[in-house]
Structure 1
Amino acid sequence: MSQLIPGKLLTTAMAILPHDHIEEALKLALTLDIPFWPQLPHVGYYEDMYVQAAEHFPGIVLMPEQNSIRFDTPKFYDELPEMLDHWEELAYFDISPTYSVVYHRFLEMDLSSYPAIRGQLEGPVSFGMKILDENDKPLIFNDQVRGMLMDFMARRAQAQLTHLKTRHPGAFMFIDEPGLQFVFSSMSGYTDRMAAEDMDRFFSQIDRPRGIHLCGNPDWQFLLNRDLDILSMDIYTNAEIFRCYGKDIKRFLDRGGVLAWGVVPTGFEAFDQESQDHLIAVLEGVWQTLAEAGISLEQILAQSLLGPATCCLINPDREKTVAKAYSWVKALSRQLREKYALT
């Protein structure tokens, strides 16, 4: 496949921000080369990524007063026919204004001057691991429901991508899958084979460009061999591990894939101890290792984005360190683009 997402060390970020005010969060997101609509759980219950993903899924029980969400199996079978009746109505699966004021505010903006824009949805594996049924069992282990969950979430991702493309032809999607790092734990009964089948089924129903974002440390070979257009990761924490997958990374890039390098920490303590020069050294050290695996620096630069390493909702200074991290991401991009003569 050809490269579908801009590279050349342009900037973007994952979606969750610690802001209490929508306009300030949007303002920050719009400072990046590839902006996104923020998910703001501090603003309200319905701005949470799991709640947003749950809209219209049969069997969901929302409990705003407890800041919780559950799944009820009998309710699922009662509500399933109604959802299936709407299956051909793509707009039905988009995020409604009730479930995100921020998303619709973003869509009202003039975004034409950006090289691309980005949306996101909580992934089906992470959703299935997080949401518990009436027996406190994660939804992902329900064999009667899991397939429908994959198809439903694909429908939701497709609806959002279609809507975003009406605002910008270069729109693409992150599927947030923090739960994928637990698939490979010996404690998980959800195997990598099951995850591969489910993820391939899921992505086969979504137009390009689309890919995965996660901040954890999964089996990188597993992810690099999925049919993705972009993989976004926390390289700040996982540099020493990720650099060991040269052959898989080369295969991913040769297919036209883009890597979003999350290099600037957003946690208060880690950020306070860092320097921009050190973060550049981290990146260039990984790139040097990949060059030794036969990947040219020119290809890496052409197929790379830069971003913060993780989301962060728990800093004592709330959004201040996160905003500083975004400014560093932009500074690193400027410095490296100048150094390597990227235009």
Structure 2
Amino acid sequence: MFPIVTAMGSLPVESYEDAKALVASGCPQAPHCPQLPRIFREDLLLEQGIAPWERAGLIQRRPDGRPIVDRSASGFAEALARFSRICGVGECGVDEPIEWYSNDESLFADQSPTYLRFRQELLERAWPGKPNWVKAQLAGPLTIARYVTDERGAALLDDPELRELVVASAALQAAWLASDLRRLPWPVMIFIDEPGLTGMGGIKEAGNTGAEEDLSTAPDDDFISRAVGAMAQAIGQTGALAGLHCCGEADWSPILGSGVHIASFDACRHFEGMLRQAEAVERFLSRGGLLAWGIVPTEPEALAAATAEGILGQLGEQMAALASRGVSGEALRRQMIVTPACGYGLRTVAEAEKAYNLLGQLAAWAGKTGGRGIRL
């Protein structure tokens, strides 16, 4: 069953058919839902995350299209109270909050045409090849709370009421997505995309958020664990696996102990951060967690020089380094997913094509060896 080879989501192509061809060739056993941010604003990471907020009337748009939560807007207090009830923060105002999210118009159907087609082709067995897994991804609450601001420019993370509502809404959104894909005959992975975990000081755009805000507010470990744990629980209750993806430097200790099933990290540039958490990695693997190694580069220079053989060599060296610090080598081999370091939405089509060609070679290797070719 392992290793699984899949990818993140965003692609630079400008048609669903081109995206489908890339995913089918690079991730034949574990296709992921493609996202096309160059042609669909709705496929930008933040736009997915705020879709329920916008439906609830809590989002205003700046002239440049940037979304904000404007407390001074007419009817804001009433809309906030209603949305809080829907999300179960306080007294629940509907029988089942998930029903509000199950309306296709509120989420991924009108909001993401690529998701509609991906889901339908899988349901109709029209997707190429023979999948063993299906993966989708959505914005995590930490990233939404750090990148989306109020009318004064303050991150939602700074407001205790709003940040709790972000977590509750994101968890319901994840539960809807996981439940929707669980209609398929294959096991499902839902990755929570959290570029907002990158760094703890002021950084600029990380990943495909569509924002360039200064992330000077750092969430503490307790909030990180609670937020990720809420997402993992919501996804896990559907029978799907919950993954957390961060493509930057992050403290993985609160993540590995949060209850998430998959830890997806940039092994090309930030392996040292995971190595520093070797004891936490061992505990994570011992309870059945999976490591998703972002070992296919997204940086242009590294990608241009990359080969499948070189990637496998680097992967073996990193696994050996973890094993030397007490992490079970057998568990590392058995509980492994191979991915790119991040998405390719900000890269060229040629770079994406090369990356997915490498993924296809790695998928063929995984199918033949089951990961046994890596020596520790």
Instruction: Write the deviation string for residues 16-69 of structure 1: whole angstroms up to 9, x where unpaired.
Output: 111211221122223312111112110122221211211121454354972421
Alignment of 1:1-343 (within 5 A): 6=1, 8-31=2-25, 32=27, 33-57=29-53, 58=56, 60-61=58-59, 63=61, 66-75=64-73, 76-83=76-83, 84=86, 85=93, 88-94=96-102, 95-110=107-122, 113-183=130-200, 187-206=216-235, 207=237, 208-315=240-347, 318-335=348-365, 338=368
Q: For 2:369 and 2:181, how far apart are their aligned partners in 1?
A: 33
Q: For 1:297 and 1:289, how far apart are their aligned partners in 2?
A: 10
- Judged with a 3 Å threshold, the aligned counterparts in structure 2 of structure 1 residues 239 and 104 are, in CA distance, closer, same or farther, namely same
Q: For 2:59 and 2:217, how far apart are their aligned partners in 1?
A: 25
- Judged with a 3 Å threshold, the aligned counterparts in structure 2 of structure 1 residues 158 and 43 are, in CA distance, closer, same or farther, namely same
Match of 1:55, SS state, is helix
Q: For 2:222 and 2:343, how far apart are their aligned partners in 1?
A: 29
Match of 2:136, SS state, is strand
- Judged with a 3 Å threshold, the aligned counterparts in structure 2 of structure 1 residues 62 and 46 are, in CA distance, closer, same or farther, namely farther
Cα pair 1:258 1:303 within 8 Å, conserved: yes
- Judged with a 3 Å threshold, the aligned counterparts in structure 2 of structure 1 residues 256 and 242 are, in CA distance, closer, same or farther, namely same
Q: For 1:253 and 1:37, how far apart are their aligned partners in 2?
A: 26
Instruction: Write the deviation string for residues 60-80 of structure 1: whole angstroms up to 9, x where unpaired.
Output: 435497242111125542323
Q: For 1:91 and 1:168, how far apart are their aligned partners in 2?
A: 23
Q: Which moved more, 1:70-79 or 1:116-125?
A: 70-79
Q: For 2:95 and 2:264, how far apart are their aligned partners in 1?
A: 30
Cα pair 1:263 1:279 within 8 Å, conserved: yes
The Cα shift of 1:266 comes to 2.5
Unaligned segments of structure 1, at least 5 residues = 1-5
The Cα shift of 1:261 comes to 0.8
Match of 1:195, SS state, is helix
Q: For 1:117 and 1:166, how far apart are their aligned partners in 2?
A: 11
Match of 1:217, SS state, is coil
Amino acid of the structure 1 residue aligned with 2:30: I
Unaligned segments of structure 2, at least 5 residues = 87-92, 203-214
Q: Which moved more, 1:267-276 or 1:113-122?
A: 267-276
- Judged with a 3 Å threshold, the aligned counterparts in structure 2 of structure 1 residues 334 and 297 are, in CA distance, closer, same or farther, namely farther
Q: How many residues align?
A: 335
Cα pair 2:224 2:254 within 8 Å, conserved: no
- Judged with a 3 Å threshold, the aligned counterparts in structure 2 of structure 1 residues 165 and 240 are, in CA distance, closer, same or farther, namely same
Q: For 1:163 and 1:178, how far apart are their aligned partners in 2?
A: 25
Cα pair 1:116 1:168 within 8 Å, conserved: no
Q: Which moved more, 1:293-302 or 1:94-103?
A: 293-302
The Cα shift of 1:213 comes to 0.8
- Alignment partner, residue 3 of structure 1: none
Could you tell me the TM-score, scaled by structure 1's length? 0.88
- Judged with a 3 Å threshold, the aligned counterparts in structure 2 of structure 1 residues 243 and 341 are, in CA distance, closer, same or farther, namely closer
Q: For 1:336 and 1:103, how far apart are their aligned partners in 2?
A: 27
The Cα shift of 1:86 comes to 5.0
* RMSD (Å) for aligned C-alpha atoms: 2.5
- Judged with a 3 Å threshold, the aligned counterparts in structure 2 of structure 1 residues 283 and 38 are, in CA distance, closer, same or farther, namely same
Cα pair 2:246 2:265 within 8 Å, conserved: yes
- Judged with a 3 Å threshold, the aligned counterparts in structure 2 of structure 1 residues 86 and 15 are, in CA distance, closer, same or farther, namely farther
